[in-house]
Amino acid sequence: MIAVDSSTLIAYLSGDIGADVEALDTSLLAGEMALPPVVLTEVLCEPTLSDAHRNLLLNLPRLELLPDYWLRAAALRSTIIARRLRARLADALIAQSCLDHEVALITRNRDFRHFARHCALKLA
């Protein structure tokens, strides 16, 4: 299983190209994609999202929240902030979902490199 971040998912749905989009396409075809709940929420908020894309997203497996998720996510974000690095709340929540399920994350958002370097998040 592998997860995807909003940045790559939006690029994919927009028809953009890139190594991350190719990795997403490959994982979708292999049935290995799972969405962190925050990513689903971020992308479903887009008012111009087509019905076809909405249905695709709603039918993908999700990384369910595990007990004490919120506490671990707070500690994770605190670790990054203590190093005076960027740690947006949504990014910390996505990273924690991936860490809880031991899955790599496909992303084009460079802010996740802080979670990879300091908190063992695997980037695809």
Task: List per-residue pLDDT tens for the chain, 124 residues long.
Answer: 999 999 999 999 999 999 999 999 999 999 999 999 999 999 999 999 999 999 999 999 999 999 999 999 999 999 999 999 999 999 999 999 999 999 999 999 999 999 999 999 999 9
The two tokens of residue 51 are 């019905």
Q: What is the pLDDT of residue 34?
A: 96
Q: What 3 state SS string does 48-60 have? A: CCCHHHHHHHHCC
Alpha carbon distance 47, 60 (integer Å): 20
Domain borders along the chain are 2-119
As beta bridge partners, residue 35 has 62
Bridge partners (DSSP) listed for residue 7: none
What are the structure tokens assigned to 11, written together?
Answer: 């690029």
Look at residue 67 in the predicted model and tell me its pLDDT.
98
CA distance 37 to 19: 23
pLDDT digits (tens, 9 = 90+) for 103-118: 999 999 999 999 999 9
CATH match of 2-119 with 3.40.50.1010: yes
> Residue 23 in contact with residue 106, Cβ under 8 Å?
yes
